[in-house]
Amino acid sequence: MIDALIEEVSKRTEGGLCVELPDGRAIGNGTCRVRIKDSKAVRNILRNPEMGFGEAYMKGDIEINGDLERFLIACVSYLKEKESDKSFRNSLIRNILKVLGFLKFVEGKEVRKHYDLGNDFYSLWLDSSMTYSCAFFSSKDQSLEEAQAEKRSIIYEKLQLTDGDKLLDIGCGWGSIILEVPKLYNIQTVGITLSKNQYEYIKSKIEREGLQDKVRVYLMHYEDLPSLGEKFNKVVSVGMFEHVGKGRHRTFFKVVDRIMDDGGLFLLHTIGKVLPETQSQWIRKYIFPGGYIPALTEILQATKGLGFNLIDIDNWRLHYYRTLKEWRKRFYQHREKVIQKYGEEFFRMWELYLTSSAVSFLTASNHLFQLLFSKGVVNDYPIMKRYFLPAYEVLK
Ligand SMILES: C[S@@+](CC[C@H](N)C(=O)[O-])C[C@H]1O[C@@H](n2cnc3c(N)ncnc32)[C@H](O)[C@@H]1O
């Protein structure tokens, strides 16, 4: 049976595969060489190809002597055709937890597990603004720092930031937006995060930069936002919606609806699928427990009957491909440090996460949507984009 599976993936691999099995047998004579060292790995891959491969790769039971990205592109093409969606069962479990009132607690733990790995870890491979979301590249030689700054400036422009606005950032990360905006405009900003490390990092930056009167940060779940008793005319959420979870998107929009002023603008920046599709089980188990990549149709459906009016949509899919490649390049540069602190298995897990995510954007399994909504119908927004999407060459 493994022969048939290898043949399927090999057909889809540029240059073909040559797979060496634990019993010494070699299948295929392609240029991408794969060595499976453990027979248990073979059994697990046959049972569940995506999870079996991911776990074996992390443990070092599989070596790819060639290009991991090229191999994963072939795997995606194979899995797209074969895999069934298990997300329904998971969403059922989450909904039971929600009814029991445990969900916020579970979500907090899930989110902290990822973001509280250590600010030192993230600073090794994120840009200096510590932005952990898709950047916008407008030229080939742009640095990651510049591309992240350009992304932020596009967001400010879309939100039509003006002196006197009040801006909320839901899932503010290490605060790149809430800390920058008051330096550019006379605007008060508020950010929320579930990560203690991020919260403390922002707190100390607020003090160091003397921004106490302009910036506030809360360690808070988005569902608790109404308890602030405040309204905002500009709201942004970048790379957080992926944590909301299947069946919870409407709850999220209801909260945003409640805390927004009429006539305000809300920019939602999220990874998405065009239509509901298979989710990666390996990513959900090892990288983003509880995460769910929403489909565009699910996002829009979740706003039904609320006050949101869709103004604009962008898809920055290949910009995320390039962002992930930049992160991975930096991550590789710190290989020894990461292994020393977190171990070889952790390194391989993150290598696979960064590479498979890049491949997911390259192969259009995932997209990056920016949706701009007004609260109520607003007609005085610009109707021309200021940029043309750069060619694929820029984003490779
Ligand atoms: C991928 S990071 C993006 C951070 C930042 N927006 C950026 O672009 O760099 C996701 C952020 O969402 C936050 N988050 C996830 N679930 C949340 C929730 N239920 N309530 C509030 N924040 C949440 C995390 O703590 C983290 O700060």
Query: What tokens were used for 352?
Result: 């696979």
392 is in an annotated binding site: no
185 annotated among ligand-binding-site residues: no
Query: What atom of ligand 1 comes closest to residue 221's alpha carbon?
Result: 20
- The pLDDT tens digits for 338-380 are 999 999 999 999 999 999 999 999 999 999 999 999 999 988 7
The residue among 81, 136, 99 whose CA lies nearest residue 247 is 99
Check the annotation: does 320 bind a ligand. no
- The per-residue pLDDT for 87 is 46
Burial 336-367 (b: 16+ CB within 10 A, else e): eebeeeeeeebbbbbbbbbbbbbbbbbbebbb
Structure ipTM = 0.99
| 91 Cβ contact list (under 8 Å, min separation 6) | 245, 246, 247, 292
User: Do the annotations mark residue 168 as ligand-binding?
Assistant: yes
In this structure, is the dihedral angle defined by the CA atoms of residues 267, 272, 275 and 278, taken in order, positive or negative? negative
Atom of ligand 1 nearest to the CA of 108: 19
Q: Is 357 in the pocket of ligand 1 (CB under 6 A)?
A: no
pTM: 0.89
Q: What is the whole-number distance in angstroms between the Cα of residue 47 and the centre of ligand 1?
A: 34
45 CB under 6 A from ligand 1?
A: no
Among 113, 178, 203, 243, say which to mutate for ligand 1: greatest number of ligand atoms within 8 Å of CB.
243
What 3-state class would DSSP assign to 154? helix
pLDDT of 48 reads 86
Q: Please indicate if the annotation marks 6 as binding a ligand.
A: no
Q: Which two tokens stand for residue 248?
A: 């919870």
Q: What integer pLDDT is reported at residue 110 of this predicted model?
A: 81
Mutate to test the pocket of ligand 1, among 109, 111, 220, 287 (most ligand atoms within 8 A of CB): 111
Phi, psi (deg, nearest 5) at residue 158: -65, -35
Q: How far apart are CA 201 and CA 88, in angstroms?
A: 37
117-146 per-position pLDDT tens digit? 889 999 999 999 999 999 999 888 899 999
Q: Quick one: pLDDT at residue 277? A: 85
> Does 245 contact ligand 1 (Cβ within 6 A)?
no
- The highest-level CATH class for domain 113-395 is alpha beta
Residue 132 is assigned to a ligand binding site: yes
24: left (phi over 0), alpha (psi -120 to 50) or beta: left
Does the annotation flag 159 for ligand binding? no
Q: Where does CATH 3.40.50.150 sit in the chain?
A: 113-395
For residue 365 and ligand 1, the question of a CB distance below 6 A is answered with no
- Full DSSP string of 117-149: T-HHHHHHHS-TT---S-----STT--HHHHHH
Residue 269: the pLDDT is 98
Q: Does ligand 1 come within 6 angstroms of the Cβ of 115?
A: yes
Ligand 1 contacts CB of residue 103 (under 6 A): no
pLDDT (tens, 9 = 90+) of the chain, 396 residues, equals: 788 899 989 988 988 999 999 999 999 999 999 999 999 999 998 888 889 999 999 999 999 987 899 899 888 888 777 754 444 445 555 555 555 556 777 778 888 888 888 899 999 999 999 999 999 998 888 999 999 999 999 999 999 999 999 999 999 999 999 999 999 999 999 999 999 999 999 999 999 999 999 999 999 999 999 999 999 999 999 999 999 998 899 999 999 999 999 999 999 999 999 998 888 889 988 898 888 999 999 999 999 999 999 999 999 999 999 999 999 999 999 999 999 999 999 999 999 999 999 999 999 999 999 999 999 998 877 666 665 666 666 676
HEC secondary structure over the chain: CHHHHHHHHHHHCCCCEEEECCCCCEECCCCEEEEECCHHHHHHHHHCHHHHHHHHHHHCCEEEECCHHHHHHHHHHHHHHHCCCCHHHHHHHHHHHHHCCCHHHHHHHHHHHHHCCCHHHHHHHCCCCCCCCCCCCCCCCCCHHHHHHHHHHHHHHHCCCCCCCEEEEECCCCCHHHHHHHHHCCCEEEEEECCHHHHHHHHHHHHHCCCCCCEEEEECCHHHHHHHCCCEEEEEEECCHHHCCCCCHHHHHHHHHHHEEEEEEEEEEEEEECCCCCCCHHHHHHCCCCCCCCEHHHHHHHCCCCCEEEEEEEECHHHHHHHHHHHHHHHHHCHHHHHHHHCHHHHHHHHHHHHHHHHHHHCCCCEEEEEEEEECCCCCCCCCCCCCCCCHHHHC
Ligand 1 centre and the CA of 68: distance in Å?
A: 29
From the alpha carbon of 222, which atom of ligand 1 is closest?
20
d(CA 57, CA 72): 12
Q: For residues 352 and 312, what is the distance between their CA atoms, to the nearest angstrom?
A: 33
Q: Is the CB of 370 under 6 A from ligand 1?
A: no
Q: What is the spatial distance between Cα 264 and Cα 253, in angstroms, rounded to a whole number?
A: 14
pLDDT digits (tens, 9 = 90+) for 273-311: 999 888 888 998 889 888 899 999 999 999 999 999 999
Task: Report the candidate in 278, 294, 318, 317 with the shortest Cα–Cα distance to residue 50.
Answer: 278
Atom of ligand 1 nearest to the CA of 237: 6
Distance 206 CA to ligand 1 centre (A): 18
For residues 202 and 218, what is the distance between their CA atoms, to the nearest angstrom?
10
